[in-house]
């Protein structure tokens, strides 16, 4: 993977992307080129336009399904306001009424 990144950096710099150039980029980054991976990469893309390869890869990525579906998105606009209003109504309805307070007293004020 680092060989591909170094190759792309060479191409962005207007270089040919030769084995020596790619190795030099990796060395400058403190890495060592995997000669096997580098030679395979260069042989597979020899004579091909990098922009066409990237465009083809982009098209392939569009067909890849990713993610696990996660939860639903947040409600937007009116739906969010309706949800808040419903919660407020539920809270108001929760009044249990009756003559009990926290300490067991009645409505008549006798404690």
Tell whether the model's pLDDT for residue 1 goes beyond 70.
yes
**And the tokens for 75?**
């409600």
pLDDT (tens digit per residue) in 6-52: 999 999 999 999 999 999 999 999 999 999 999 999 999 999 999 99
- 104 Rama sector, left if φ>0, alpha if ψ -120 to 50, beta otherwise: left
Confidence band, pLDDT 50/70/90 cuts, at residue 66 = confident
Q: What pTM value is reported for the model?
A: 0.55
> For the chain, what is the HEC assignment?
CHHHHHHHHHHHCCCCCCHHHHHHHHHHCCCCCCHHHHHHHHHHHCCCCHHHHHHHHHHHHCCCCCCCCCCCCCCCCHHHHHHHHHHHHHHHHCCCCCCCCCCCCCCCCCC
Contacts (Cβ under 8 Å, ≥6 apart) of 45: 7, 53
Q: Which domains does the chain have, with CATH numbers?
A: 2-61 (1.10.10.1410)
């Amino acid at each position: 993977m680092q060989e591909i990144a170094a190759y792309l950096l060479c191409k962005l710099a207007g270089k040919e992307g030769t084995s020596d150039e790619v190795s030099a980029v990796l060395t400058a980054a403190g890495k060592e080129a995997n000669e096997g991976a580098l030679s395979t990469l260069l042989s597979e893309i020899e004579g091909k336009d990098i922009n066409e390869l990237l465009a083809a890869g982009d098209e392939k990525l569009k067909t890849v399904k990713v993610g696990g579906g996660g939860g639903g998105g947040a409600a937007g606009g009116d739906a969010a306001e309706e949800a808040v209003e419903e919660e407020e109504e539920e809270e108001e309805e929760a009044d249990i009424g009756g003559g009990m307070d926290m300490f067991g007293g009645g409505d008549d004020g006798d404690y």
